[in-house]
Amino acid sequence: MTMTKHAFIELGLAVLKTEAEAISALTGRLDQGFHDACDLILKCTGRIVVTGMGKSGHIGNKIAATLASTGSPAFFMHPGEASHGDLGMITADDLVIALSNSGETSEITLLLPLLKRLGIPLLALTGNPASTLARSANIHLDVSVTREACPLGLAPTSSTTATLAMGDALAVAVLEARGFTEEDFALSHPGGHLGRRLLLRVSDIMHTGGAVPLVTTETTLKGTLLEMTAKGLGMAGVVDAAENRLVGVYTDGDLRRTFEIMPDIESALVRDYMTANCVTITADRIASEALKTMHDKKVNALMVVDEEFIVQGALNMHDLLRAGVV
């Protein structure tokens, strides 16, 4: 059958509307049962074991992953494998969340007597409050939908969307109750952009030792330019020769302004052309703060100092780019 562009769009809109209505219907069901479900998750001292068969299993995988990344240790257990040994992964301290639209999935109902015998609490998300799974659960959340978005009414679409949304609601509500922070999130996502931004500190990416471009107040402009060229950070820190404290910085911008005057670089001293009271940062600061400082102060590099203004290192915008902070 040939479909026009308009027909495709109309079908897509119909699916989105149906699934949106399914999620909207859940808002009227967030009652004491939802509160008790969140409380059950919070009180779990072990792991949260999510299980589901077929499409519900795929949704269960996502719910387990969301819980785990937001402060609630969780993993997915395939119900078909559970009765062949994987049930041994569950301990008495755990909580099981079972997903089944019908509430009669045989692979799950087979596990119910065993979970009861072990005394493991069960939270069920089904589309049938009168089902075997719903009646066996300590807490049941109704995720039923009026109709699937599939025009045949067969493919799990609205029902899986509603279940996923309820799982997200549980995870986020519990996240708030735990006082879960951005840094907590970053600790479980160290490879992600947010993780790098929140976990990396200036000390992790700054240049140290001989890689730091440094001159003294007695260094000539020529000597300063040679140091800047050798170290390649677009600047050189200027320290007091007697106390070794940072007193200024000489940058590519200072170089352009200097050559408007055209001094004798063989004899002119850097202290007469440097930027005093320069912008600095300490090594313990988060790398994203260095980025913000550079942006706010309109500079491309920073000297890293301690409380006494003794130089600890240096970094520039390229270092932040390489570290994935930008």
In the chain, pLDDT over 90 holds for what percent of residues? 70
pLDDT at site 191: 54
Query: Average pLDDT of 66-76?
Result: 89
Measure the CA–CA gap between 129 and 247, rounded to whole angstroms: 73
pLDDT at site 224: 95
**pTM exceeding 0.75:** no
Among 58-62, 112-116, 232-236, 241-245, name the one with the lowest average pLDDT.
Answer: 241-245
CA distances from 221 to 109, 249, 250 (A): 81, 12, 9
pLDDT at site 295: 93
Domain 202-322, second-level architecture: Roll (3.10)
Question: What rounded mean pLDDT belongs to the chain?
Answer: 90
Query: Average pLDDT of 228-248?
Result: 92
Query: Between 70 and 64, where is the model more confident?
Result: 64
Query: Between 316 and 261, where is the model more confident?
Result: 316
Contact call for residues 137 and 123 (beta carbons, < 8 A):
yes
In the chain, pLDDT over 70 holds for what percent of residues? 93
pLDDT at site 24: 95
pLDDT at site 72: 87
Residue-wise pLDDT for 161-219, tens only, equals 999 999 999 999 998 888 766 665 655 555 555 556 667 889 999 999 999 999 999 99
Query: Between 184 and 234, where is the model more confident?
Result: 234
What b/e string do you get for 277-288 counting C-beta neighbours within 10 Å, with b at 16 or more? Answer: ebebbebebbbb
Q: Give residue limits of the domains in the chain.
A: 5-180, 202-322
pLDDT of residue 1 exceeding 90, the answer is no
Query: Average pLDDT of 84-101?
Result: 90
Query: Average pLDDT of 298-313?
Result: 95
CA neighbor of 225 nearest in space, from 258, 191, 193: 258
pLDDT at site 155: 86
pLDDT at site 194: 58
Measure the CA–CA gap between 311 and 303, rounded to whole angstroms: 7
The CATH number of the structural domain formed by 5-180 is 3.40.50.10490
